[in-house]
Structure 1
Amino acid sequence: MINIDFQNTFVQFIYHSVLSIESKQKLDEQISNPVNLTYRKNKATVKVFLKQKPQQVLAYLRFENGKFVIKGYKFGKSDYLTGRKKSHFKTVESIFLIDKEERERRY
């Protein structure tokens, strides 16, 4: 498991409560893959695809102070979720209205 940090508690909450185990494993694989060592050298935020179907799930991360910091997420056509707008909380609220099996399949 790679050492992952979070930009804020909202991003951490999404990681632990919304993302499926499959998406977390995919993120771990992407970060630890030696082919993707450019993530460590890149100063910009990098977009990582976690799932393509049934809905696209993206994580935005950056390498800072020896750790990967998750800056935000994007689910399908939703906004770039960082927790800085009230609408981001409404998006997460609508995600929790979906039953657990469907949520695991989508995210």
Structure 2
Amino acid sequence: MALAKLGVVVLDCPDPRALAGFYAEVLGGTVSGEDDWIDLDTPGGHPLAFQAAPNHVPPRWPAPDASQQFHLDLTVDDLDTAEKAVLALGAKPLDTEDRSRSWRVYADPAGHPFCLCAC
């Protein structure tokens, strides 16, 4: 049984609405949201989100020594249970202190950030 299911792939970028519009043209779907966070609901049911990163530096490809600049949002039923499980698997906490939020940020064993998000 899986611990989590993939919620949304989030791309950091300087202009979330513009990048969402690009992907809406490529993939179809409906763009929604405001300001620093824009969602794209695609016809295939695989949502994308675009988060403002004012100092965004585009990734180089191929560049094994440079960030590809995205993170995964993983939807879970229980944040505390999922946190214990991912930490046991080798994740490292990055931003988990505020327990009132519905999400927490970790790094996978290779250092890529991901969020656990409450359903």
Relative to the length of structure 2, the TM-score reads 0.25
Which structure has the higher relative contact order (CA within 8 Å, separation 6+)? 1
Q: Which protein has the bigger helix share?
A: 1
- Bigger radius of gyration: 2
